[in-house]
Structure formats: C-alpha cells, structure tokens
Amino acid sequence: METSGGGGDEQVIDYMQRVVGMLGAWSVGGVGSSIAGERLFPDQDRLFAKATALGGELYRATLEKREYPDQAGAKLALSATCGAGGFDEGFLAL
C-alpha cells in the first residue's frame, strides 16, 4: 500500500513493483491513495475494500505458489546475477 500527499500514486506503485521484482518477489498488485487529512482518505470505504481484496489475493497466491509471467523478466535478470537458487521467492502486495 502506498499513500501520498499530492497524488502520483500509480507511478509510485509501479516503481515499488519493479524494485520488489528485482529483489526476487512476485507482486500480486497494489493500492494507493492520497491523504485527505489526518488519518482520512478520499473514498475510504472503496479504498479499504480494495486493500482487503488485495490481502486475500496475496494469501491465495502464496498458497498456490503462483507465478506471474509478466514479471518474469526482472526475476530472470536477478537469477542470472545471483546464480540458480540465489534468492528466495516471495510474494508482496503493495
């Protein structure tokens, strides 16, 4: 999850997903929002429902040991750098 004071949430989530991919984790998705005040978010109920759904997706992906072909390029680059088995796979929801 990502929060910001002035928007640009999708760019930050995209960056975070690239970084975790380079570190060897699969990303199951992300959710972001600007902050509307102290502990307040615009459209808070929708945002929290999306975060809850993403948590469920993370749980299922872990149980099923899913792979995401669209993220494989970053993982292959890391594997080539570290050698076969040079990192532990994991999952992350952003």
3 near 35, Cβ under 8 Å? yes
- CA count, 13 A, side-chain hemisphere, 83: 1
End-to-end CA distance of the chain: 4
Closest CA to 10 of 26, 38, 37, 29: 29
Cβ atoms of residues 93 and 27 within 8 Å = yes
Q: What's the whole-model pTM score?
A: 0.62
- Per-residue pLDDT at 19: 83
Above 70 in pLDDT, residue 75? no
| Residues 48-74, mean pLDDT to the nearest whole number | 88
What is the mean pLDDT of the segment spanning 32-48? 77
